[in-house]
Amino acid sequence: MQKSELKTPFFMINEDKLIANLEKAKQLKELSGVKLVLALKCFSTWGVFDIIKPYLDGTTSSGPFEVKLGYETFGGETHAYSVGYSEDDVKEVADICDKMIFNSQSQLAAYRHLVEGKASLGLRLNPGVSYAGQDLANPARQFSRLGVQADHIDPALFDTLDGVMFHMNCENKDVDAFINLLNAISEQFGAYLDKLDWVSLGGGVFFTWPGYDIEKLAAALKAFSEKHGVQLYLEPGEAIITKTADLVVTVVDIVENGMKTAIVDSATEAHRLDTLIYNEPAAIAEASETGDHQYIIGSCSCLAGDQFCVTQFDAPLEIGQRLHILDSAGYTMVKLNWFNGLKMPSVYCERSNGEIQKLNEFGYDDFKRSLSRWSIA
């Protein structure tokens, strides 16, 4: 199977690029003693889990289906967390998770009896400090519902808990900024942490970013672990799959209204939702910073402002030309939807030996079934 034969749109995951990130994860684990669990909310494409499993310790979730997926397809440790569990949710996953982390003291009180004796009990804490580029993704934003604030904690709980989880980073590429957060947690919650077996520091620590000082991060994690006598966990998502996949699209039309727009057979609202939500323009492999030909890369959805980016090319674009939208693994495949009835991208993996393996494809029957299974007639 040749790439040129594949019908767009499609995601192409590159095994070599994935392994390069995983080798950095391996280095961090060896130097620090930290355990790493993959954040399925970011990337759940289980067809490539056989590549990832040798490097990581398990998975962590944000909902009951992710718990089941991690348990069934990844193995290792299965961490269960949700902002809001129902009783049925807890019953569904209590027997298959290793750690159950509750978001609030009220949920912990309501459901701990369903978990005790089956999984290790944890509680999410909100330290009131964070690192996030946008308020929408800031766990410590004003009126945050994520975790228990320090002034709301019942100290007696820590005699009955096994661990806690903090998640206060979003794409943090600054090791010194992370260390400052780590020190703030130690100072604010240290007396509680000393009573626990484990502490998860959540995700958003971008230790695979080019130039990131992994050795400095590892030393800080190891010192924190030894100070409080806990097993540390990180929950990487983007750090594992960053720059490992492209969304490949085709130019289907070129229109002009003040600026030229190349319309492609994909849409941010359906296939790359975070581009739209966070207003963060995508990058195109074929673009050129010095190119003389500027285009809006527009989607084929009906939403007026749905576009991937504005960028330049060395030569005019042509209908039928393929473009590669870079860094399209994280928060894409987990958020795919059927808006406008658009064709959903297939998913492939390019193996180290050059072989192209199909992981998933979607058709009209999938679209139809997602909307109704039965008729009232």
What is the pLDDT averaged over residues 340-360?
97
162 is in an annotated binding site: no
Residue 344: partners with Cβ closer than 8 Å, 6 or more residues away: 270, 271, 336, 338, 362, 366, 367
Which amino acid is it at 218?
A
- CB count within 10 Å of CB 65 equals 14
Contact call for residues 234 and 200 (beta carbons, < 8 A):
yes
Q: Give me the domains of the chain, ranges plus CATH numbers.
A: 3-11+243-371 (2.40.37.10), 16-241 (3.20.20.10)
Confidence of residue 88 (pLDDT cuts 50, 70, 90): very high
Q: Is residue 365 over pLDDT 80?
A: yes
Contact call for residues 350 and 356 (beta carbons, < 8 A):
yes
Instruction: State the Cα–Cα distance between residues 323 and 128, nearest whole angstrom.
Output: 42
Instruction: State the Cα–Cα distance between residues 258 and 54, nearest whole angstrom.
Output: 52
What pTM was computed for the model?
A: 0.96
Instruction: State the Cα–Cα distance between residues 122 and 166, nearest whole angstrom.
Output: 11
Distances (CA, A) of 306 to 106, 142, 290, 310, 316: 41, 29, 25, 12, 22
Radius of gyration of the chain (CA): 22
Confidence of residue 320 (pLDDT cuts 50, 70, 90): very high
Length of the chain, please?
377
Q: What is the DSSP letter of 377?
A: -
Q: Tell me the per-residue pLDDT of 281-293, one tens digit each, with 9 for 90 and over.
A: 999 999 999 999 9
166, two tokens: 């903090």
238 is in an annotated binding site: yes
Give the HSE-up count for residue 2: Cα atoms under 13 Å, Cβ half-sphere. Answer: 2
Contact call for residues 11 and 335 (beta carbons, < 8 A):
no
Peptide bond into 54 cis (omega under 30): no
Alpha carbon 332 to chain centroid, angstroms: 9
Confidence of residue 4 (pLDDT cuts 50, 70, 90): confident
pLDDT of residue 218: 98
Confidence of residue 317 (pLDDT cuts 50, 70, 90): very high
Instruction: State the Cα–Cα distance between residues 77 and 53, nearest whole angstrom.
Output: 11
Helix, strand, or coil (residue 11): strand
Residue 364: partners with Cβ closer than 8 Å, 6 or more residues away: none
303, two tokens: 């939403």
Contact call for residues 133 and 170 (beta carbons, < 8 A):
yes
Question: Strand pairing partners for 246?
Answer: 12
